[in-house]
């Protein structure tokens, strides 16, 4: 494995037809991945897929748009103990669509339970935060970074509690993670960096020019690479189903912005993922 896609979904139906072949393509490309659950069933499937493949790990949790499903705390706590389970999520807040925004309180409850599981289990959080704002960081369209602001406030509250409990050294380990599919601006990025979190960039950085400034801003040792496959394929695969095998396109873009070679960038991003997820 020379490069890693820290967030993908071989566990979703889009891979039902050719899961084995897609995994083989990833392996051939020297890519490993973290297979991310969006509910209990897909979390279990992520664990199964990880168990069968040396360079696949699992992340277990319930997506914020799955707020209507009951959260089975005992089952998730049990899954979190699995050997190949390296993170909790994807969890967070999703205010993108009005029908989701109408259920902020339910989303917040679901998010808090998973933050608590992350603290208990010592695993990092895989955050899915999607604000109501549309467009790229430089476009002012009247939208807001609302979901980011709410999530950051909640994370700060837990972080401060941990520090007050007189565990400042453990708190860094106990509450950490990554902001998956980052679409915020510099202010939001700085908030996550201050919290000790990493920031994950997806394929959108290959075709939305405004993200270059954010990638340039975040220190290389806090960046992760991801595809979010089957969604959001990078250039030149836009419009196709995305695959972890395409993550080198994203790493290449980060390398170009940061002014490092592809090889050096792959090495550093892989090290970041190893440090955060203990893989
Ligand atoms: Zn995802």
Q: What is the pLDDT of residues 42-101, one digit of tens each?
A: 999 999 999 999 999 999 999 999 999 999 999 999 999 999 999 999 999 999 988 999
176: helix, coil or strand?
coil
Q: What is the mean pLDDT of residues 174-186?
A: 93
pLDDT at 18: 96
* SS3 label, residue 129: strand
CA of 114 to the centre of ligand 1 (A): 16
Q: Which segments within the chain are labelled E, that is strand?
A: 3-8, 31-36, 56-60, 85-94, 125-130, 177-180, 198-201, 223-225
Separation of 11 CA from ligand 1 center, angstroms?
11
- What is the per-residue pLDDT for 161? 85
* Per-residue pLDDT at 171: 47
* Ligand 1 centroid, distance to 246 Cα (angstroms): 15
pLDDT value at 268 more than 70: yes
Where are the domains positioned within the chain?
3-277
pLDDT beyond 90 at 165: no
| Ion ligand 1: residues, Cβ under 5 Å | 228
- How remote is the CA of residue 159 from the centroid of ligand 1, in Å? 25
Residue 143: the pLDDT is: 58
Q: Ligand 1 mean position to 36 CA, how many Å? A: 6
Question: Cα dist. 60→56, 169, 194, 220, 254 in Å?
Answer: 13, 26, 25, 26, 27
pLDDT for 3 beyond 50: yes
Give pLDDT, residue 136. Answer: 53
pLDDT band at 164 (very low <50, low <70, confident <90, very high): confident
Rounded distance from Cα 168 to ligand 1 centre (Å): 31
Ligand 1 centroid to 10 CA: how many Å?
Answer: 10
Is residue 141 scored above 60 in pLDDT? no
The yes-or-no verdict on residue 139 having pLDDT over 80 is: no
Q: What is the sign of the dihedral through the CA atoms of 259, 264, 266 and 268?
A: negative
Inform me whether the pLDDT recorded for 135 exceeds 80. no
- Dist. CA 92 → ligand 1 center (Å): 11
How far is the centre of ligand 1, averaged over its atoms, from the C-alpha of 9 (Å)?
Answer: 7
Please tell me the least confidently modeled range out of 6-10, 76-80, 87-91, 165-169: 165-169
Mean pLDDT value across residues 197-224: 95
Least trusted range by pLDDT, from 18-27, 46-55, 188-197, 231-240: 231-240
Give distance in angstroms: CA of 262 to centre of ligand 1. 25
**Planar angle of CA 173, 177, 183, nearest 5 degrees:** 155
For residue 178 the two structure tokens come to 């990554």
CA of 231 to the centre of ligand 1 (A): 8
Tokens 């748009």: give the residue: 65
pLDDT at 266 over 50: yes
Residue 277 CA to ligand 1 center (angstroms) comes to 16
Average pLDDT value over all residues in the chain: 93
State the pLDDT at residue 144. Answer: 82
Mean pLDDT across 32-42: 98
- 179 CA to centre of ligand 1 in angstroms: 11
Ligand 1 centroid distance, CA of 211 (Å): 19
Instruction: For the beta carbon of residue 2, count every other beta carbon within 10 angstroms.
Output: 14
pLDDT band at 182 (very low <50, low <70, confident <90, very high): very high
pLDDT, average across residues 218-225? 98
Query: Ligand 1 mean position to 164 CA, how many Å?
Result: 33
What span, in angstroms and rounded, lies between the C-alpha atoms of 60 and 80? 7
**Topology given in CATH for the domain delimited by 3-277:** TIM Barrel (3.20.20)
The predicted model gives 229-237 an average pLDDT of 92
């Amino acid at each position: 494995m020379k490069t890693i896609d820290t967030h993908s979904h071989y566990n979703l139906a889009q891979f039902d037809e050719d899961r084995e072949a897609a995994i083989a393509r990833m392996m051939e490309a020297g890519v490993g991945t973290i297979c991310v659950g969006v509910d209990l069933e897909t979390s279990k499937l992520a664990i199964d897929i990880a168990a069968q493949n040396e360079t696949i790990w699992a992340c277990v949790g319930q997506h914020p748009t799955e707020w209507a499903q009951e959260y089975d705390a005992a089952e998730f706590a049990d899954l979190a103990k699995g050997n190949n389970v390296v993170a909790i999520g994807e969890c967070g807040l999703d205010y993108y669509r009005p029908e989701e925004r109408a259920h902020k309180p339910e989303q917040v409850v679901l998010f808090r339970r998973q933050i608590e599981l992350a603290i208990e289990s010592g695993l990092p959080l895989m955050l899915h935060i999607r604000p109501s704002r549309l467009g790229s960081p430089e476009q002012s369209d009247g939208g807001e970074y609302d979901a980011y602001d709410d999530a950051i406030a909640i994370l700060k509250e837990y972080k401060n509690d941990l520090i007050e409990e007189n565990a400042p050294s453990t708190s860094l380990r106990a509450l950490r993670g990554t902001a998956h599919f980052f679409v915020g601006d510099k202010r939001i990025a700085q908030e996550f960096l201050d919290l000790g979190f990493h920031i994950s960039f997806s394929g959108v950085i290959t075709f939305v020019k405004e993200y270059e400034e954010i990638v340039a801003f975040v220190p290389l040792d806090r960046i992760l690479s991801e595809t979010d496959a089957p969604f959001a394929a990078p250039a030149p695969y836009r419009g196709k189903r995305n695959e972890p095998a395409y993550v080198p396109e994203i790493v290449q873009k980060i390398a170009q912005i940061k002014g490092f070679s592809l090889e050096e960038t792959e090495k550093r991003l892989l090290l970041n993922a190893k440090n955060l997820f203990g893989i």
